[in-house]
Structure 1
């Protein structure tokens, strides 16, 4: 008896986090979820968008919830890889914070990010694990990354911190101002780079007034 492609896929081990087929499924799911929303998306549509059979999807993901959770984790991990890539050994602390804040806010106001946050909020009550996964991989992980960078600056004598993690979240929240919330609640016009810079510069001034090392 010949072995079909779907038979081979069905026999494949479930733990293949970096497999090409798994990435194709997540990419297809991203297009469908962003177009139809979580409730409106079907696994048939995801299979068509990914160029695989529905049976193949279930080799890697047991449900639509699990697939959406994988999409959330994948997107947040990719964002985290680039979010805080700054050279903290050179320049003054204000410049370091400014670069981090602008990078963070440029990502936060992207249309795909806003759509993803809206979907997570919509499904979090029904599937709290998805909401928790988003928080852990996004805000929580971002805060931890920034806390480590703030500690480096404190070790260089540039900051005097109260609590690394709490101070990191405070800075990120100040960088957002009202810009991200306006988009989440329906403002169709994204902020300009100048508006992002103005909000971040204000956050940097306030943060350094509280935590900057005094001469």
Structure 2
């Protein structure tokens, strides 16, 4: 896998881990799993390192081998989950001949991931803690939204090179497409004004996003 296409997720056991002395990838995953359970159940403020240690089945001393404090642990959890979500979602084949279909598939997968209850809960926690701990917000933004934009930009650049799209700034165009895809959908759920979003509403929103995107950026051909 090339450097450009690789997500900085928790390394597999056979990869070279980017951890300090005494750290093991499997143990780190174990801690993050326990932390996910506690944070989702209790929220950031109410969660304690003792709670997380018990949920992960490790000692508090072991937690501090891997993470400096609760803020560092939560930021690592947020980063890992965002990166793993981006890796699943943004699998785009530059050779795909049906551009509209590829964008529709991405738009629906993106919405489904954004509307998962665990993701909504995580975003709410990030918003609630970012003012006090801006590092959490920065790491979420880079591993989540910015990572998705970078990955989609690579696909759009390939389509520009193939003559299917006419885009001057692919990063801006990628951000615009993702914003259009979640328009009128994510905010109501995130802020509690809508418990669920119908599949029909999602499909119509993505369809409009794709049509508008291609109307603006579709290459003009002289037949």
Q: TM-score, normalised by structure 2?
A: 0.87
Give unmatched runs, 5+ long, in structure 2: 1-18
Once residues 66 and 99 of structure 1 are traced to their aligned partners in structure 2, the CA distance between those partners, rounded to angstroms, is 34
Q: Cα deviations across residues 69-120 of structure 1 (Å, max 9, x unaligned)?
A: 1101110111111111133313321111111111111111111110010000
When structure 1 is superposed on structure 2, of 191-200 and 51-60 the one drifting more is 191-200
Q: TM-score, normalised by structure 1?
A: 0.90
Deviating beyond 6 angstroms after TM superposition, the runs of 4 or more aligned structure 1 residues are none
Map residues 49-128 of structure 1 onto 2, 5 A cutoff. 49-128=55-134
Normalized per residue, which structure has more helix? 1
Give me the CA root mean square deviation.
1.5
User: 1:188 and 1:49, CA in 2 relative to 1: closer, same or farther beyond 3 A?
Assistant: farther
Once the 2 structures are TM-superposed, how far is the Cα of residue 162 of structure 1 from its aligned partner?
A: 2.4
Aligned to 1:8: none
- Greater Rg by CA: 1
Contact 1:88–1:96 under 8 Å retained in 2: no
The total of aligned residue pairs comes to 203
Contact 2:28–2:66 under 8 Å retained in 1: yes
Once the 2 structures are TM-superposed, how far is the Cα of residue 165 of structure 1 from its aligned partner?
A: 0.2
Once residues 120 and 91 of structure 2 are traced to their aligned partners in structure 1, the CA distance between those partners, rounded to angstroms, is 22
Give unmatched runs, 5+ long, in structure 1: 1-12
1:145 pairs with 2:121:
no
Aligned to 1:179: 185
1:160 pairs with 2:171:
no
Map residues 8-19 of structure 1 onto 2, 5 A cutoff. 14=20, 19=25
User: 1:77 and 1:42, CA in 2 relative to 1: closer, same or farther beyond 3 A?
Assistant: same
1:135 pairs with 2:141:
yes
